[in-house]
């Protein structure tokens, strides 16, 4: 009953005059209306206070964004004039259609409060960027003292301060080897807020399939960053099988216009956006003297390739070593196949070493390699050898296998696909 009587009295005072208080608040007294249509306008940079707040009642105010590029810094404070109260404070930012574009609620049992002249204060800050220019936006505030049996005076304070701000320019991305290299012009264009003269920090936002990963980049003096193509966050988003959107974030720290010890950070993103290239199947790539075709691209930074042969037909390479893997633009692919006629007719090859992951050798892959005299199988998983894969090579050729079991298996697998008379041995 007591709580209801006090609330009713506060309602009566609301429509008559601003009540007296023991505390001298700084700023201009104001009255917010209970609906958005009649919201009270705020002047940029001016601090206001409203006393005798009715618990859980919405108070509406509005501010105009102006014509410049920057951040609308909304600083808010709610003070319950009691040293033990556990009040709550809710603030919403709305557009002209009443849609909530940002919202915060603070306070309640166990929350952290700031002491303010014997009362308990709660602070909320909204550093708003990306708002439409020359447009009205609205603030709705509601508060309570957190006490069901007694009522304590509540005062709300607010200030909207426009901060000129432009993000860094010249953002670029280059894929170089196993790195995605980024650079930008670290030029502070317009931020004259307090003593800030440069960015406080940067970050890269990685985004794909409604998932976001943030890579923090040192301090505000940075002008470049290298991201490994095997970075766990990048791979977790499906790279390189999927395109990942990347943009530069410029991080700035702000202090409340009402209480300098209260701070928050805000990230403004550059207008330039990059999407990583999607690696597709059948993409041909040259690495050193060999040419490969991508046969599978996984969304975890792995895949498989087929070896197509030499990059040039007129070379003097005598020893061909086919590895287990190959790195193409920072992604490691398993070499699982040797293409048909990959080295057919090459008269200079003397030895061939076939890597651990090869499972298939195509038709006539080494046909007519007349100087070939040594074939070493490192793979333990060879399961398919095409017709005439090793025909018309030297009869003095030695075939080496990892062990006796595989020697027997590969001898059977190569039957009628290799010149007769070759010797089978163990590595």
| Ordered DSSP codes for 328-395 | ETTEEEEEEEE-TTSSTT-SS--EEEE-TT--EE-TTTTTT-TT--EEEE--S---EE-TTTBTTS-T
Whole-number pLDDT of residue 291: 95
Binned at pLDDT 50, 70 and 90, residue 222 comes out as confident
Q: What CATH number did the domain enclosing 38 receive? A: 2.60.120
End residue of a domain, out of 275, 301, 332: 275
Are residues 53 and 180 both part of a single domain?
no
Helix (H) or strand (E) holding 275: strand 263-275
**Residue finishing a domain among 246, 275, 304:** 275
Q: Domain with 182 in it: what CATH number?
A: 2.60.40.10
Residues 57-102 pLDDT 10s: 999 999 999 998 889 999 999 999 999 999 999 999 999 999 999 9
Mean pLDDT calculated for residue range 165-178: 89
Is 304 found in the same domain as 229?
no
**Does residue 259 fall inside a structural domain?**
yes
Token pair for 414? 């190569």
Tally of structural domains, the chain: 3
* Average pLDDT value for residue range 147-152: 89
> How far apart (Å, rounded) are the C-alpha atoms in residues 107 and 198?
34
CATH number at residue 415: 3.80.10.10
For residue 163, tell me if it sits in a domain.
no
Q: Is residue 164 part of a domain?
A: no
| % residues pLDDT > 90 (the chain) | 71
The residue from 226, 258, 275 where one domain ends is: 275
User: What is the reported pTM?
Assistant: 0.70
Does residue 81 lie within any of the structural domains? yes
pLDDT digits (tens, 9 = 90+) for 93-137: 999 999 999 999 999 988 999 998 789 999 999 999 999 999 999
In this structure, are 318 and 261 located in the same domain?
no
pLDDT tens by residue, 348-380:
999 999 999 999 999 999 999 999 999 999 999
Each residue of 268-313: pLDDT tens digit? Answer: 898 899 999 988 777 788 888 999 999 998 877 789 999 999 998 7
The answer to whether residue 149 sits within a structural domain is yes
**Residue 162 placed within a domain:** no
Residue 74 included in any domain: yes
Whether 63 and 194 share a structural domain: no
pLDDT at 106: 97
The DSSP line for 180-191 is EEEEEE----S-
Domain assignment present for residue 200? The answer is yes
% of the chain at pLDDT higher than 70 = 92
193 with 269, same domain: the answer is: yes
What's the N-to-C CA distance of the chain in angstroms? 95
Indicate if 8 and 148 belong to the same structural domain. yes
Sign of the torsion formed by the C-alpha atoms of 415, 419, 424 and 427: negative
Question: Could you list the residue range(s) of the whole structural domain that residue 141 is in?
Answer: 2-157
Task: Judge if 128 and 255 occupy the same domain.
Answer: no
Whether residue 382 sits in one domain with residue 290: yes
**Domain check: are 186 and 239 in the same one?**
yes
What are the b/e assignments for 195-229, b being 16+ CB within 10 Å? ebeebebbbbbbbbeeeebebebeebebeebebeb
**Domain match, 101 and 9 both:** yes
Same domain, 142 and 60: yes
Residues 418 and 294 in one domain: yes
């Amino acid at each position: 009953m007591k709580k209801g009587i006090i609330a009713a009295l506060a309602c009566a005072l609301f429509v008559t005059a601003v009540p007296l208080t023991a505390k001298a608040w700084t700023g201009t007294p104001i009255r917010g209306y209970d609906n958005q249509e009649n919201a009270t306008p705020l002047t940029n940079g001016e601090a206001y206070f409203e006393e005798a707040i009715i618990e859980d009642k919405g108070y509406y105010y509005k501010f105009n964004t102006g014509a410049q590029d920057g951040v609308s810094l909304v600083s808010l404070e709610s003070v319950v004039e009691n040293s033990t109260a556990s009040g709550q404070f809710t603030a919403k930012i709305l557009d002209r259609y009443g849609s909530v574009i940002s919202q915060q609620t603070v306070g309640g049992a166990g929350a952290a409060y700031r002491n303010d002249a014997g009362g308990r204060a709660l602070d909320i800050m909204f550093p708003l960027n990306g708002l439409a220019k020359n447009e009205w936006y609205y603030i709705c505030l509601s508060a309570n003292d957190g006490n069901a049996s007694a009522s304590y005076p509540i005062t709300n304070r607010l200030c909207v301060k426009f901060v000129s701000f432009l993000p860094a320019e010249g953002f670029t991305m280059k894929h170089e080897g196993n790195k995605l290299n980024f650079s930008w012009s670290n030029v502070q264009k317009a931020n004259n807020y307090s003593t800030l003269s440069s960015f406080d920090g940067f970050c890269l936002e990685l985004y794909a399939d409604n998932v976001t990963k943030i890579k923090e980049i040192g301090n505000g003096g940075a002008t470049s960053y290298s991201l490994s193509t095997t970075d766990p966050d990048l791979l977790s988003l499906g790279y390189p099988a999927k395109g990942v959107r990347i943009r530069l974030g410029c991080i700035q720290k702000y202090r409340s216009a009402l209480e300098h010890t209260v701070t928050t950070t805000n990230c403004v993103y550059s207008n330039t956006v990059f999407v990583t290239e999607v690696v597709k199947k059948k993409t041909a790539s040259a690495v050193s003297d060999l040419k490969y075709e991508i046969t599978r691209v996984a969304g975890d930074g792995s895949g498989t390739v087929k070896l197509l042969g030499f990059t040039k037909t007129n070379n003097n390479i005598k020893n061909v070593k086919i590895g287990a893997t190959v790195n193409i633009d920072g992604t490691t692919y398993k070499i699982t196949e040797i293409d048909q006629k990959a080295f057919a007719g090459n008269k200079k090859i003397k030895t061939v070493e076939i890597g651990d992951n090869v499972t298939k050798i195509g038709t006539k892959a080494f046909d007519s390699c007349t100087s070939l005299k040594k074939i070493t199988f490192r793979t333990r998983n060879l399961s398919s050898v095409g017709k005439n894969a090793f025909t018309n090579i030297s009869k003095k050729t030695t075939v080496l296998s990892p062990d006796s079991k595989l020697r027997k298996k590969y001898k059977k697998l190569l039957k009628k696909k290799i010149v007769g008379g070759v010797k089978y041995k163990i590595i």
